[in-house]
Copies of this chain bind each other. A is one copy, B any other.
Protein backbone atom coordinates (compact mmCIF):
# COMPACT_ATOMS: atom_id res chain seq x y z
CA UNK A 1 0.00 0.00 0.00
CA UNK A 2 1.46 3.31 -1.11
CA UNK A 3 0.84 6.17 1.30
CA UNK A 4 -1.23 9.06 -0.03
CA UNK A 5 -1.52 11.91 -0.94
CA UNK A 6 1.07 12.25 -3.67
CA UNK A 7 3.48 14.79 -5.05
CA UNK A 8 3.46 14.07 -8.79
CA UNK A 9 6.98 14.18 -10.18
CA UNK A 10 6.95 15.27 -13.83
CA UNK A 11 10.73 15.60 -14.10
CA UNK A 12 11.90 16.87 -17.47
CA UNK A 13 8.93 15.43 -19.40
CA UNK A 14 9.30 16.41 -23.07
CA UNK A 15 5.52 16.57 -23.61
CA UNK A 16 2.16 15.97 -21.93
CA UNK A 17 1.91 12.36 -23.15
CA UNK A 18 5.15 11.43 -21.39
CA UNK A 19 3.41 12.22 -18.10
CA UNK A 20 0.39 9.99 -18.67
CA UNK A 21 0.75 8.22 -15.34
CA UNK A 22 0.52 11.58 -13.56
CA UNK A 23 -2.42 12.46 -15.79
CA UNK A 24 -4.18 9.24 -14.80
CA UNK A 25 -3.74 9.98 -11.10
CA UNK A 26 -4.94 13.54 -11.51
CA UNK A 27 -7.97 12.45 -13.60
CA UNK A 28 -9.03 9.56 -11.38
CA UNK A 29 -7.77 10.35 -7.89
CA UNK A 30 -7.67 14.17 -7.76
CA UNK A 31 -7.80 13.95 -3.97
CA UNK A 32 -4.38 12.24 -4.05
CA UNK A 33 -2.87 14.78 -6.46
CA UNK A 34 -1.85 17.61 -4.15
CA UNK A 35 0.83 19.12 -6.32
CA UNK A 36 3.34 18.64 -9.12
CA UNK A 37 7.14 18.88 -9.21
CA UNK A 38 8.57 20.06 -12.53
CA UNK A 39 12.24 20.35 -13.38
CA UNK A 40 13.84 22.94 -15.67
CA UNK A 41 12.55 22.40 -19.22
CA UNK A 42 9.52 20.27 -18.29
CA UNK A 43 6.85 20.53 -21.00
CA UNK A 44 4.07 18.71 -19.14
CA UNK A 45 1.58 20.43 -16.84
CA UNK A 46 -1.22 18.84 -14.83
CA UNK A 47 -2.64 22.22 -13.84
CA UNK A 48 -1.72 21.49 -10.23
CA UNK A 49 0.22 23.79 -7.86
CA UNK A 50 3.97 23.62 -8.50
CA UNK A 51 5.40 22.62 -5.13
CA UNK A 52 8.99 22.25 -4.04
CA UNK A 53 9.74 19.51 -1.55
CA UNK A 54 9.25 21.53 1.67
CA UNK A 55 5.99 23.00 0.36
CA UNK A 56 4.76 19.51 -0.62
CA UNK A 57 5.66 18.26 2.85
CA UNK A 58 3.75 21.11 4.42
CA UNK A 59 0.76 20.28 2.19
CA UNK A 60 0.74 16.73 3.59
CA UNK A 61 2.26 14.78 0.69
CA UNK A 62 3.57 11.38 1.79
CA UNK A 63 4.87 9.89 -1.45
CA UNK A 64 6.65 11.26 -4.49
CA UNK A 65 5.22 9.37 -7.48
CA UNK A 66 7.25 9.22 -10.66
CA UNK A 67 4.49 10.22 -13.03
CA UNK A 68 6.62 10.47 -16.14
CA UNK A 69 8.37 7.96 -18.38
CA UNK A 70 11.31 8.73 -20.58
CA UNK A 71 12.38 6.66 -23.55
CA UNK A 72 13.22 3.20 -22.22
CA UNK A 73 11.43 3.67 -18.92
CA UNK A 74 14.61 4.31 -16.97
CA UNK A 75 15.31 6.40 -13.90
CA UNK A 76 17.05 9.39 -15.46
CA UNK A 77 20.33 10.49 -13.86
CA UNK A 78 18.95 14.03 -14.11
CA UNK A 79 16.20 13.10 -11.63
CA UNK A 80 18.51 11.59 -9.05
CA UNK A 81 19.19 14.70 -7.00
CA UNK A 82 15.48 15.37 -6.51
CA UNK A 83 14.79 11.75 -5.60
CA UNK A 84 17.62 11.66 -3.07
CA UNK A 85 16.51 14.91 -1.48
CA UNK A 86 12.90 13.71 -1.33
CA UNK A 87 13.97 10.62 0.64
CA UNK A 88 16.08 12.77 2.94
CA UNK A 89 13.08 15.02 3.57
CA UNK A 90 10.84 12.11 4.51
CA UNK A 91 8.99 11.18 1.31
CA UNK A 92 8.52 7.62 0.09
CA UNK A 93 8.99 7.11 -3.66
CA UNK A 94 6.74 5.08 -5.99
CA UNK A 95 7.55 4.14 -9.56
CA UNK A 96 6.13 1.96 -12.30
CA UNK A 97 9.23 2.20 -14.48
CA UNK A 98 10.94 -0.83 -15.92
CA UNK A 99 14.20 0.26 -14.30
CA UNK A 100 13.55 -0.45 -10.62
CA UNK A 101 14.18 1.87 -7.70
CA UNK A 102 15.48 -1.13 -5.77
CA UNK A 103 18.23 -1.57 -8.37
CA UNK A 104 19.64 1.91 -7.65
CA UNK A 105 22.11 1.40 -4.79
CA UNK A 106 22.24 5.09 -3.88
CA UNK A 107 18.45 5.33 -3.50
CA UNK A 108 18.32 2.07 -1.55
CA UNK A 109 21.01 3.26 0.88
CA UNK A 110 19.41 6.63 1.49
CA UNK A 111 15.92 5.15 1.86
CA UNK A 112 17.25 2.72 4.46
CA UNK A 113 19.09 5.44 6.32
CA UNK A 114 15.97 7.58 6.51
CA UNK A 115 13.46 4.78 7.09
CA UNK A 116 11.63 5.46 3.82
CA UNK A 117 9.94 3.01 1.41
CA UNK A 118 10.67 2.53 -2.29
CA UNK A 119 7.62 1.15 -4.14
CA UNK A 120 8.35 -0.54 -7.45
CA UNK A 121 4.84 -1.31 -8.65
CA UNK A 122 6.16 -3.19 -11.66
CA UNK A 123 6.99 -6.18 -9.46
CA UNK A 124 4.80 -8.06 -7.00
CA UNK A 125 5.44 -7.40 -3.31
CA UNK A 126 3.14 -10.20 -2.09
CA UNK A 127 3.43 -14.01 -2.12
CA UNK A 128 0.15 -14.87 -3.79
CA UNK A 129 -1.68 -18.17 -3.21
CA UNK A 130 -2.72 -20.74 -5.81
CA UNK A 131 -6.34 -20.02 -6.76
CA UNK A 132 -8.88 -22.20 -4.96
CA UNK A 133 -11.99 -21.27 -6.94
CA UNK A 134 -14.14 -20.96 -3.82
CA UNK A 135 -17.23 -18.81 -4.41
CA UNK A 136 -16.85 -15.36 -2.92
CA UNK A 137 -19.47 -12.92 -1.63
CA UNK A 138 -19.95 -9.55 -3.30
CA UNK A 139 -20.12 -8.85 -7.03
CA UNK A 140 -17.40 -8.42 -9.59
CA UNK A 141 -17.25 -6.87 -13.06
CA UNK A 142 -14.33 -7.65 -15.36
CA UNK A 143 -13.46 -5.59 -18.42
CA UNK A 144 -12.41 -7.90 -21.29
CA UNK A 145 -11.01 -6.61 -24.55
CA UNK A 146 -10.89 -7.55 -28.21
CA UNK A 147 -7.24 -6.41 -27.92
CA UNK A 148 -4.70 -4.94 -25.52
CA UNK A 149 -4.86 -1.20 -24.72
CA UNK A 150 -8.41 -0.64 -25.86
CA UNK A 151 -9.60 1.16 -22.72
CA UNK A 152 -10.27 -1.55 -20.14
CA UNK A 153 -8.76 0.46 -17.27
CA UNK A 154 -10.68 3.59 -18.15
CA UNK A 155 -13.89 1.56 -18.46
CA UNK A 156 -13.50 0.13 -14.96
CA UNK A 157 -12.59 3.54 -13.52
CA UNK A 158 -15.55 5.23 -15.24
CA UNK A 159 -17.90 2.59 -13.86
CA UNK A 160 -16.50 2.96 -10.35
CA UNK A 161 -17.01 6.72 -10.52
CA UNK A 162 -20.61 6.36 -11.73
CA UNK A 163 -21.46 3.75 -9.07
CA UNK A 164 -20.04 5.96 -6.33
CA UNK A 165 -21.86 8.99 -7.70
CA UNK A 166 -25.05 6.98 -7.25
CA UNK A 167 -24.10 6.17 -3.65
CA UNK A 168 -23.36 2.52 -4.38
CA UNK A 169 -20.42 0.54 -3.00
CA UNK A 170 -17.69 0.05 -5.57
CA UNK A 171 -13.92 -0.46 -5.72
CA UNK A 172 -11.68 -0.25 -8.78
CA UNK A 173 -9.21 -3.14 -8.64
CA UNK A 174 -5.95 -2.37 -10.43
CA UNK A 175 -4.07 -5.13 -12.25
CA UNK A 176 -1.42 -3.02 -14.00
CA UNK A 177 1.26 -0.49 -13.15
CA UNK A 178 -0.67 2.68 -14.00
CA UNK A 179 -3.77 1.50 -12.18
CA UNK A 180 -1.70 0.66 -9.11
CA UNK A 181 -0.12 4.11 -9.08
CA UNK A 182 -3.56 5.69 -9.49
CA UNK A 183 -5.09 3.86 -6.54
CA UNK A 184 -2.07 3.03 -4.39
CA UNK A 185 -2.54 -0.72 -4.55
CA UNK A 186 -3.32 -3.70 -6.80
CA UNK A 187 -1.60 -6.62 -8.49
CA UNK A 188 1.02 -6.14 -11.24
CA UNK A 189 -0.40 -9.21 -12.96
CA UNK A 190 1.95 -9.32 -15.92
CA UNK A 191 4.87 -9.81 -13.51
CA UNK A 192 3.28 -12.57 -11.41
CA UNK A 193 4.62 -16.14 -11.72
CA UNK A 194 2.36 -18.31 -13.88
CA UNK A 195 1.09 -20.66 -11.18
CA UNK A 196 -0.07 -17.78 -8.98
CA UNK A 197 -1.82 -15.54 -11.53
CA UNK A 198 -5.40 -16.59 -10.83
CA UNK A 199 -4.67 -16.73 -7.10
CA UNK A 200 -3.41 -13.15 -7.15
CA UNK A 201 -6.77 -12.02 -8.56
CA UNK A 202 -8.69 -13.98 -5.93
CA UNK A 203 -6.49 -12.20 -3.36
CA UNK A 204 -7.22 -8.83 -4.99
CA UNK A 205 -11.00 -9.29 -5.04
CA UNK A 206 -11.89 -11.04 -1.77
CA UNK A 207 -15.22 -11.63 -0.04
CA UNK A 208 -17.15 -8.41 0.24
CA UNK A 209 -20.59 -7.02 1.06
CA UNK A 210 -23.32 -8.62 -1.03
CA UNK A 211 -24.12 -5.26 -2.66
CA UNK A 212 -20.50 -4.24 -3.32
CA UNK A 213 -19.03 -4.18 -6.83
CA UNK A 214 -15.37 -4.78 -7.57
CA UNK A 215 -14.56 -3.23 -10.96
CA UNK A 216 -11.61 -5.26 -12.18
CA UNK A 217 -9.16 -3.76 -14.64
CA UNK A 218 -8.60 -6.17 -17.52
CA UNK A 219 -5.25 -7.04 -19.11
CA UNK A 220 -4.42 -8.32 -22.58
CA UNK A 221 -7.07 -10.19 -24.55
CA UNK A 222 -8.14 -13.81 -24.89
CA UNK A 223 -7.37 -13.31 -28.60
CA UNK A 224 -3.89 -11.77 -28.18
CA UNK A 225 -1.40 -14.61 -28.46
CA UNK A 226 1.29 -12.85 -26.41
CA UNK A 227 -0.82 -12.19 -23.33
CA UNK A 228 -3.96 -14.34 -23.52
CA UNK A 229 -2.88 -16.49 -20.58
CA UNK A 230 -2.81 -13.42 -18.36
CA UNK A 231 -6.33 -12.57 -19.47
CA UNK A 232 -7.69 -16.05 -18.77
CA UNK A 233 -6.23 -15.93 -15.26
CA UNK A 234 -8.30 -12.76 -14.72
CA UNK A 235 -11.43 -14.41 -16.10
CA UNK A 236 -11.06 -17.39 -13.76
CA UNK A 237 -9.46 -15.73 -10.74
CA UNK A 238 -11.85 -12.79 -10.91
CA UNK A 239 -14.94 -15.04 -10.89
CA UNK A 240 -16.90 -12.20 -12.47
CA UNK A 241 -20.67 -11.81 -12.30
CA UNK A 242 -20.55 -9.35 -15.19
CA UNK A 243 -18.33 -8.88 -18.22
CA UNK A 244 -18.06 -5.64 -20.16
CA UNK A 245 -16.67 -6.05 -23.69
CA UNK A 246 -14.10 -3.39 -24.59
CA UNK A 247 -13.21 -2.46 -28.18
CA UNK A 248 -11.33 0.09 -30.26
CA UNK A 249 -12.82 -0.02 -33.76
CA UNK A 250 -10.02 1.66 -35.73
CA UNK A 251 -7.21 -0.85 -35.11
CA UNK A 252 -5.68 -2.25 -38.31
CA UNK A 253 -4.46 -5.38 -36.46
CA UNK A 254 -3.88 -6.76 -32.97
CA UNK A 255 -1.46 -4.57 -31.02
CA UNK A 256 2.10 -5.59 -31.82
CA UNK A 257 0.96 -8.50 -34.02
CA UNK A 258 0.84 -7.57 -37.71
CA UNK A 259 -1.15 -10.26 -39.49
CA UNK A 260 -3.48 -10.93 -36.57
CA UNK A 261 -6.96 -9.47 -37.08
CA UNK A 262 -9.07 -8.32 -34.16
CA UNK A 263 -11.91 -10.67 -33.24
CA UNK A 264 -15.47 -9.45 -33.60
CA UNK A 265 -17.36 -8.36 -30.51
CA UNK A 266 -19.55 -11.43 -31.02
CA UNK A 267 -16.47 -13.69 -30.92
CA UNK A 268 -15.26 -12.04 -27.73
CA UNK A 269 -18.71 -12.30 -26.15
CA UNK A 270 -19.03 -16.01 -26.87
CA UNK A 271 -15.50 -17.08 -25.90
CA UNK A 272 -15.18 -14.91 -22.79
CA UNK A 273 -18.61 -15.87 -21.50
CA UNK A 274 -18.05 -19.60 -22.02
CA UNK A 275 -14.79 -19.43 -20.06
CA UNK A 276 -16.14 -17.12 -17.35
CA UNK A 277 -19.03 -19.51 -16.70
CA UNK A 278 -16.53 -22.17 -15.64
CA UNK A 279 -15.87 -20.11 -12.50
CA UNK A 280 -19.31 -18.51 -12.22
CA UNK A 281 -22.17 -20.14 -14.15
CA UNK A 282 -24.32 -17.04 -13.49
CA UNK A 283 -21.91 -14.69 -15.27
CA UNK A 284 -23.45 -12.40 -17.91
CA UNK A 285 -22.14 -10.10 -20.60
CA UNK A 286 -23.81 -6.82 -19.64
CA UNK A 287 -22.55 -4.22 -22.09
CA UNK A 288 -20.00 -2.88 -24.54
CA UNK A 289 -17.46 -0.12 -23.97
CA UNK A 290 -16.13 1.41 -27.16
CA UNK A 291 -13.04 3.62 -27.25
CA UNK A 292 -14.12 6.22 -29.82
CA UNK A 293 -11.18 8.60 -29.43
CA UNK A 294 -10.31 8.34 -33.12
CA UNK A 295 -13.90 9.02 -34.30
CA UNK A 296 -15.90 12.19 -34.63
CA UNK A 297 -18.87 12.51 -32.30
CA UNK A 298 -21.31 11.64 -35.09
CA UNK A 299 -19.26 8.63 -36.15
CA UNK A 300 -19.02 7.49 -32.55
CA UNK A 301 -22.76 7.73 -31.94
CA UNK A 302 -23.56 5.90 -35.16
CA UNK A 303 -21.08 3.17 -34.31
CA UNK A 304 -22.50 2.72 -30.81
CA UNK A 305 -26.05 2.52 -32.18
CA UNK A 306 -24.92 -0.18 -34.61
CA UNK A 307 -23.25 -2.17 -31.81
CA UNK A 308 -26.40 -1.96 -29.72
CA UNK A 309 -28.48 -3.22 -32.63
CA UNK A 310 -26.05 -6.03 -33.49
CA UNK A 311 -25.45 -7.34 -29.98
CA UNK A 312 -28.63 -6.33 -28.17
CA UNK A 313 -26.47 -4.90 -25.42
CA UNK A 314 -26.04 -1.34 -24.12
CA UNK A 315 -22.99 0.31 -25.70
CA UNK A 316 -21.23 3.53 -24.81
CA UNK A 317 -17.86 5.24 -24.73
CA UNK A 318 -17.89 5.73 -20.96
CA UNK A 319 -15.10 8.31 -21.00
CA UNK A 320 -16.79 10.39 -23.69
CA UNK A 321 -20.49 9.84 -23.03
CA UNK A 322 -20.57 8.55 -19.44
CA UNK A 323 -20.92 5.09 -17.91
CA UNK A 324 -24.58 5.33 -16.94
CA UNK A 325 -25.73 2.66 -19.40
CA UNK A 326 -23.14 0.19 -18.16
CA UNK A 327 -23.98 0.80 -14.52
CA UNK A 328 -27.70 0.48 -15.26
CA UNK A 329 -26.84 -2.91 -16.70
CA UNK A 330 -24.97 -3.90 -13.54
CA UNK A 331 -27.94 -2.84 -11.45
CA UNK A 332 -30.19 -5.07 -13.54
CA UNK A 333 -28.40 -8.30 -12.59
Contacts and interface: CB of A to CB of B under 8 A. Distances in A.
Interface residues of A, number: 39
- Dominant secondary structure at the A interface: helix
Interface string A227-261: 11111110111010000000000000000110110
Given A193-B192, A275-B271, A132 B226 contact: yes
Interface in A185-217: 189-195, 197-199
Q: Which of A192, A194, A229 has the most CB of B within 10 A?
A: A229
A189 B194 contact: yes
Contact of A131 (B130, B194, B226, B237): B226
Nearest to A237: B225
Count identical subunits in the complex: 2
Interface of A: 130-133, 189-195, 197-199, 222-223, 225-233, 235-237, 239, 256-257, 259-260, 263, 271, 274-275, 278-279
B189 A225 contact: no
B222 A232 contact: yes
Given A194-B191, A232-B232, A260-B133, A275 B222 contact: yes
Contacts of A231: 229, 232
Contacts of A263: 278
Given A197-B230, A225-B239, A229-B236, 17 more contacts: A130-B226, A132-B256, A133-B226, A189-B194, A190-B194, A190-B195, A193-B193, A197-B229, A198-B225, A198-B227, A222-B275, A229-B232, A232-B232, A260-B278, A263-B278, A271-B271, A271-B274
